[in-house]
Amino acid sequence: MSDLDDTLPGMGTNLRAFLDMIAFSEIGPSLLRVSDNGYNVIVGSTPAKPILFTDYSEHPRQYQKAQNSDAAGRYQFMGRYWNFYKNALKLPDFGPASQDRWAIQLIKECRALDAINRGAFALAVEQCRSRWASFPAAGYGQHENSLASLQDAYTDAGGEVANG
């Protein structure tokens, strides 16, 4: 669990679980355990060889040639978007609370917040697939997780799926 309780009081259980599911999808449970719950992970990390950063003042922008990416953090944000979201959301740093707020902003941009809140899990994942390459049918040519595995992670984190 992130520090959302302190920074975003009143957030629903489903949104918290959806954020945990994104981290599960992007980082994986083993890497989440050997890092700061994913908040300090650089793309290309593995549980056996984690690439972690310690300075949360800015997005680390550590380019990894093998992945052709500088994605970082719990939700694997690209460095090229950092300045825009830092300014737009008035983020003080790239710390956990800022990463959580940025992820929620992306969910809002995908118009998936309502689906998440009412438990329309599959629809919410579909609506957000343009933002997270590990989601089913994201189309980025990277490993994509199955909807079933993501739903398991979501419900394990306390999220509820609506019937029907």
The pLDDT tens digits for 38-59 are 999 999 999 999 999 999 999 9
Query: Looking at the predicted structure, is the pLDDT value of residue 2 above 90?
Result: no
On whether residue 88 sits in a domain, the answer given is yes
- Per the structure block, which two tokens stand in for 93? 């740093």
Q: What is the dihedral of CA 127, 132, 135, 136, to 10 degrees?
A: 70
pLDDT at 4: 41
Domain housing 60: 4-156
Q: What is the pLDDT of residues 112-136, one digit of tens each?
A: 999 999 999 999 999 999 999 999 9
Q: Is the pTM of this model over 0.95?
A: no
Taking residues 2-19, report their average pLDDT. Answer: 71
On whether residue 162 sits in a domain, the answer given is no
Is 160 a catalytic site residue?
no
On whether residue 94 sits in a domain, the answer given is yes
Taking residues 14-23, report their average pLDDT. Answer: 97
Length of the chain: 164
- Per the structure block, which two tokens stand in for 58? 């800015």
pLDDT at 6: 47
pLDDT at 10: 59
Q: Which CATH number covers residue 52?
A: 1.10.530.10
pLDDT at 163: 76
Q: Which residues of 18-49 are buried (b: 16+ CB within 10 A; e: fewer)?
A: bbbbbbbbbbbeebbeebbbbbbbbbbbeeee
pLDDT at 141: 84
Q: Are 41 and 31 in contact (CB under 8 A)?
A: yes
- Per the structure block, which two tokens stand in for 38? 């994913």
On whether residue 163 sits in a domain, the answer given is no
Q: What's the whole-number average pLDDT of the chain?
A: 93
Query: CA-to-CA distance for 53 and 59, rounded, in angstroms?
Result: 10
On whether residue 18 sits in a domain, the answer given is yes
Q: Domain count of the chain?
A: 1
On whether residue 51 sits in a domain, the answer given is yes
On whether residue 15 sits in a domain, the answer given is yes
Query: CA-to-CA distance for 162 and 72, rounded, in angstroms?
Result: 32
Q: What is the pLDDT of residues 57-116, one digit of tens each?
A: 999 999 999 999 999 999 999 999 999 999 999 999 999 999 999 999 999 999 999 999
On whether residue 132 sits in a domain, the answer given is yes
pLDDT at 11: 78
Q: Which of 26, 58, 126, 144 is catalytic?
A: 26
